[in-house]
Chains A and B, each alone.
Chain A
Amino acid sequence: MPTYIALIYTADVDWTSPGYADENAKYLEFGQESAEVIRGGAALYPTSTATTVRVSGGKGGEVLLSDGPYAETKEALTGYYVLECDNLDEALRHAAKIPAAWNGVVEVRPTIPSLT
């Protein structure tokens, strides 16, 4: 069955701060409601915890690290779900129930079966 990733873009929030307890509860609720199709996922720490890795000059070259995400944008990747669904319609139906769909955006992408 096809596998989709639902990428969650919201304000660059810290899900662990007490102010997000209610929001987290809504995500847990979604997790229970759509448990049938959810195959994985994670909530991410804010982009201030990110480290960008680049290697210059090809494989084995110099490792260049920089603090933070590669690009600053208003909405950041703050989590994702892996959904196994019959087709795009089913995936979109579940994605529309993720709280980020009304507090940000959810991008649904199909995964390539031969490369996973």
Chain B
Amino acid sequence: MTDPKETLDELLRREGRLVLATLTRLTGDLTLAEDAVQDASISALETWPRAGIPPNPRAWLILAAKRRAIDLLRRERSRWVKEKDATMVAIQMAPDDFPPDVVRDDQLRLIFTCCHPALAQETQVALSLRVLCGLTVAEVARALLVSEQTMAKRLTRARSKIADAGIPYRVPDVEELPDRMAAVATTVYLLFTEGYASQSSGGYERRALADEAVRLGRLLVELMPGEPVLMGLLSTILIHHSRRDARLDAAGDIVLLADQDRSRWDRTMAMEGVDLAAAAIRRSADRPERFAVTAAIAACHALAEDAADTDWDAIVAWYDVLAQLDPNPIVRLNRAAARAQRGETQLALEDVETLDGLDDYFWFHATRAELLTRLGRTEEAAVAASRAKDLTESEAQQRLLQRRHLESS
């Protein structure tokens, strides 16, 4: 049975996000819009359980938020009188209900504002969680592992920069759009990896980050259909997320992809990701989008019955494409790991030894340890494993090293 309180919360959160986007356009002021929508939601929580949920909850919320915004503007003294009057008139004149395409554009504008490259990457992530996902400041703080006070300050600074520096609420022009869309995709991906990395240890909010990223990824594909970068993003996170129940064992330890019980993968989600990966690659055939390629790699894993059945040739080839688009040593480390799976342990190790700039990266030393172990060079493997161990505070990662070490000796 569904809990009526929870249904109401869910409805308010869903509609609140849309209403916030619209109010931001009407007021031109994110802080004011957030305050107004929050107050409107509180009065809905007071009124609706008694009077019943109105036939058009969104229009109800928009009307309530508009009234509240006008109240707040009247009280605010620091604004220019002329500007204030104009805003109040604009709010009063606006309808309470908007057609779907206007609501859609409002959401897009807010997405591009929250992921504006003039904001620091970590600020974009925090702002997206607060504004686009509708998490409270306390929830955002817990999700990103900072104190509530620090997060409140960071969000306030971000809103001030948007207002004072004049970061516009607009969908970028055609020539800017590809770069800006890639920036949005990167922010959503970061949000996903934040949650993904902490499935075992994180609190509820941290684990829910992955779900929020999936929701945002779906929203982006819905709002801007047919864009390979966004389809690739959604595909990548769906396929990774489909393995969530197999990634950790009963004790909360990391299970490597090769050892995962694939019957515990969420097949429906994985196949949705595979279809999206294929479409993303088809639509960016000349010069594949980075996320379309990461999706293709994830899809190769998703399509394999088990580790032995995996098409490692295809995976190594996709990593070659990825390395061209993104000359990042981590990409080449992953490529080497795929070569090792193809049985080329010695060559893989030689590749790994040529990589620079990964000396502080856990997986660099963990991969070296694994390859050295397989080659029977146990003493060197122990040195690499110990270096890896020093680099991580995650107990799950430390236990992983220990387990691999025991299995080999």
Contacts and interface: CB of A to CB of B under 8 A. Distances in A.
Interface of A: 2, 4, 85-89, 91-92, 108-110, 112-114
Contact of A88 (B168, B172, B176): B168
A2 B165 CA distance: 9
Interface of B: 80, 118, 164-168, 170, 172, 176
A89 B168 contact: yes
Nearest to B172: A89
B166 A110 contact: yes
A109 B168 CA distance: 15
Contact of A110 (B164, B170, B176): B164
Nearest to A90: B168
Nearest to A110: B165
Contacts of A87: 166-168, 170
Contacts of A113: 80
Contacts of A92: 118
Residue among B165, B166, B167, B176 facing the most chain A CB atoms (10 A cut-off):
B166
A108 B164 CA distance: 12
Contacts of A109: 165
Contacts of B166: 2, 4, 85-88, 91, 110
Nearest to B169: A87
A86 B164 contact: no
A114 B165 CA distance: 14
B170 A88 contact: no
A1 to B, nearest CB: 9
Contacts of A86: 166, 168
Contact of B167 (A85, A88, A112): A88
A35 B118 CA distance: 24
A88 B168 CA distance: 7
A112 B166 CA distance: 11
